[in-house]
Amino acid sequence: MKLLVIGLGQCGSHIADEFARLGRRARVKRRIDILTGVFAVNSDLGDLSSLRTIKPDYRHRILIGERKSGGHGVGKINELGAEIARADADKIIQTLRETAHLYQSDAFLLIAGAAGGTGSGALPVISQVLKERYLDKPLYNLVVLPFEHEEHTEERTVYNTATCLKSCSAVADAIFLVDNQRYAEKNAPSRDNLTWINGQTVESFYNILCAGEEKKPKYIGSRLLDAGDIKQTLAGWTVLGRGSSRLPPAWFPFRRSRTFRDASASAQRGIETMDKAISELSFECDPKDSQTALYLVAAPTQELSVTLIKELGEHMRNLAPDTLIRDGDYPRQKRALDISVILSGLGDVEKIKRYYAEATSVASKTRKRRQRVETKLKQIDTDSKDIPSLV
């Protein structure tokens, strides 16, 4: 599957930068293209300058809202982020039009942090513009949710997150939810933590995007998982995860076949790896709540036995008994068993419900606070009405 990736705001731009690095890795190591273009859009010039992989020209790093923000961001006011995105949408569309491989894209992926200003506001606006112009291409959002400490210390964080999620759900075909708290390492430096989280988020896409773009017969699975399968799986609230296990050393030359112990160990290793992928999902959920699911097994050819595929299928069915499941294999890995999982169509997402409820409360508190301040200011004006002014 080939994606056109657009990162919005600081968080979205840095994740898009990781996608650019992933695309380069696919070209160098596997000789395949999984991205038709990667762009970063922001109202903060400094953040755009900090990216490492996305091309540094003005066509790939797009500064918006310069007149209103002065190139210094919108200060977490996502209404302003939406306003400048709407005003400068044509600048983004013009850049996409000039992209050489735009029409080879299977889908758009727009990325942003829900708690910020530029990304949170621009994500639904730019998604809507693209959806109206490119009717035949699916449009997916990847929304990064804030850390718990941000929710507790900044009321604006919860409000921005709720408004962003509500707006995106009305526009995007599917929304990948990524909870920062799921991957956070408490004792790691903040910058290293964010780099680790971004890397983990993007890595889950790698084999899924590569599998359908392979050209060499020896790397094409017996059950090919391509763009059509992915499009049919993705709908509504979506999560993804990846599990990986190292394989034992290669067989000795005189061992021409596996024993029953080897086959049993392989199946057990596969189940453990799938459980690891489920435990590392980007957002906490119950697999039973998903309407559709997809998993891809990447391993050396000799590891992809009928027994392994059968055991994994039965295990996934036990985890999600009423879910429509698609699966595939990818004989690409050398010394590892790698399983990527996508769960989509989630219907009961408690954390999003909580965001909506808290945002309503925050809006009410903010309105009352503003009224109190206005009342006090009017009182001050009343007390000073008999004092002469010097201006």
Contact in structure between 294 and 233 (CB atoms under 8 Å): yes
Q: Which residues pair with 41 in a beta bridge?
A: 8, 62
For 127-163, write each residue's pLDDT tens digit: 999 999 998 999 999 999 998 888 888 778 999 999 9
Give the DSSP H/E element, type plus range, for residue 145: strand 139-145
Q: Which of 96, 92, 69 is nearest to 81 (CA)?
A: 69
pTM, two decimals, is: 0.89
Distance CA 208, CA 211 (A): 6
Range among 219-223, 247-251, 324-328, 377-381 with highest mean pLDDT value: 324-328
Q: By three-state DSSP, how is residue 56 classified?
A: coil
What are the distances in angstroms from CA 95 to CA 42, 67, 82, 340? 14, 20, 19, 32
Distance CA 169, CA 174 (A): 8
What are the b/e assignments for 346-364, b being 16+ CB within 10 Å?
beebebbeebeebbeebee
Give the DSSP H/E element, type plus range, for residue 111: strand 107-113
Q: By three-state DSSP, how is residue 246 classified?
A: strand
Residues making up the chain, counted from first to last: 391
Q: Which of 55, 18, 12 is nearest to 203 (CA)?
A: 18
Distance CA 1, CA 211 (A): 8
- Name 96's Cβ contacts closer than 8 Å, sequence gap at least 6: 4, 37, 39, 102, 130
For 75-90, write each residue's pLDDT tens digit: 888 999 999 999 999 9
Cα-based torsion angle of the residue sequence 4, 26, 246, 296 in order, rounded to the nearest 10 degrees: 40
Q: State both tokens at 350.
A: 């408690």
- pLDDT, average across residues 52-60: 92
The confidence score (pLDDT) of residue 191 equals: 67
Higher pLDDT, 376 or 271: 271
How would residue 252 be classed by pLDDT, with cut points 50, 70 and 90?
very low
Q: State both tokens at 286.
A: 């119950």
Give all domains of the chain, ordered by start, each with its CATH number.
Answer: 3-203 (3.40.50.1440), 238-344 (3.30.1330.20)
Give the DSSP H/E element, type plus range, for residue 271: helix 260-279
